[in-house]
Amino acid sequence: MELCRMEKVSKIYAMGEEVRPLNNISLNIEVGDFLSVQGPSGMGKSTLLYVMSGLLKPSEGDVFIKDINIRNIPDDEITDLRKKNIGFIFQETNLFQALTVEENLRFVLAVGQGKNIDQSKIDYYIQELGLAQRRNFLPNQLSVGQRRRLVAARALINDAPLILADEPTNDLDDGWAGRVMELLTDKVQEGGAVVMVTHNSYWAEKAGKHYTMQEGSLVLC
């Protein structure tokens, strides 16, 4: 089953001269896919995820989420579509600074599930990502690595079918990076899909399909 499709997508910025971080990209993401996109900073990897999720609009081409062309619908409908279908591990820590670790996860579940919050999911991700002793801490009381793990938990907890992961192993030691990768793999095996961008070749090669970003285009390794 197709979760996301990009058809001849380009993103163009006019910065004195034309810059194309994405150039005529076509890509299908289906259930069971684990894709990695590797490349150095500034090559358009994060832009790819932002356009794929509808957080940025393409300059050319079309993006479909669950067969809905997001080019043709208003921003509030794109937001609703994204909430139901996409979990995003942002490179920057998008945490609510006034909420504790547990409250950050509870808020995400409340948005996705309303009043029927599954406490067992909160407990699971807090335990699996080593945050049990920090569940009542605010984000500014956490280490950088603990904040990164909380960001991953926020993206994973709502069981969105598609996970977009922007450098998910950054600021993590090998052990915690490996655990995050295991949880992403679990999502794929449970019937979802993952698109991960990274500059780390070791983790990139763990994906089922490994691409590099070259001059705005995706090249399959």
Judged against a pLDDT cut of 70, whether residue 13 lies above it is answered with: yes
Look up the pTM and report it: 0.94
Q: How, if at all, do strands 60-65 and 2-15 pair?
A: antiparallel
CA count, 13 A, side-chain hemisphere, 149: 29
pLDDT, tens digit (0-9, with 9 covering 90-100), for 161-186: 999 999 999 999 999 999 999 999 99
* CB-based contact 22:48 (threshold 8 Å): yes
Predicted local distance difference test score (pLDDT) of residue 113: 66
Judged against a pLDDT cut of 80, whether residue 33 lies above it is answered with: yes
Cα three-residue angle 169-36-189, rounded to 5 degrees: 85
pLDDT, tens digit (0-9, with 9 covering 90-100), for 44-67: 999 999 999 999 999 999 999 999
Per-residue pLDDT, averaged over 142-148, amounts to 97
Q: Which long-range contacts (CB under 8 A, 24 or more apart) does 46-49 make?
A: 46/91, 46/166, 46/197, 47/11, 47/21, 47/22, 48/22, 48/197, 48/213, 48/218, 49/88, 49/164, 49/166, 49/195, 49/197
How far apart (Å, rounded) are the C-alpha atoms in residues 149 and 125? Answer: 9
Predicted local distance difference test score (pLDDT) of residue 64: 97
User: Tokens 């938990």 — which residue?
Assistant: 153
Give me the domains of the chain, ranges plus CATH numbers: 2-220 (3.40.50.300)
Predicted local distance difference test score (pLDDT) of residue 206: 92
- Measured in degrees and rounded to the nearest 5, phi and psi for residue 134 equal -125, 15
How far apart (Å, rounded) are the C-alpha atoms in residues 201 and 41? Answer: 13
Q: List CB contacts of 133: < 8 A, sequence separation 6 or more.
A: none
Predicted local distance difference test score (pLDDT) of residue 115: 67
How far apart (Å, rounded) are the C-alpha atoms in residues 15 and 35? Answer: 30
